[in-house]
Amino acid sequence: QVQLVESGGGSVQAGGSLRLSCAVSQYPRSRYCLAWFRQVPREEREGVAAINDIDAAIYADSVKGRFAISQDIAENTLYLQMNSLKPEDTATYYCAADLSGDPCDLRDYDDFSIWGQGTPVTVSS
């Protein structure tokens, strides 16, 4: 069973950077999609970025050009590099895994069956 543990959240001023990490207990052997989502209390969870087994990445429009998702399979780690942070990026960030073999789709978080516990990010103006 794949387990996910996020780290790297914290507080930063607007314009700053953070790198989130997600430790993957066991990298999937077949097709997969790993993603970062974020959520603010009383709002819907939002897909931020996703990457699949052939390193194809997709991004939400709100983070394109600022965030970069990557994975180091040898280190069993998924990353999210966040640059030019804005106050509206403040949220709890979750990594998630979709092992169905379907293409990555950030619009439907129900496709993702495995979730980490989240790591909070606060961006002050």
pLDDT surpassing 90 at residue 104:
yes
Question: Residue 125: its pLDDT value, please?
Answer: 94
- Starting from the edge strand earliest in sequence, which strands make up the sheet with 67-72, in order? 4-7, 18-24, 77-82, 67-72
**pLDDT per residue over 13-52, tens digit each?**
999 999 999 999 999 888 999 999 999 999 999 999 999 9
**What angle is formed at CA 65 by the lines to CA 64 and CA 67, rounded to 5 degrees?**
75
Rounded Cα distance between 14 and 30, Å, is 39
**pLDDT per residue over 48-60, tens digit each?**
999 999 999 999 9
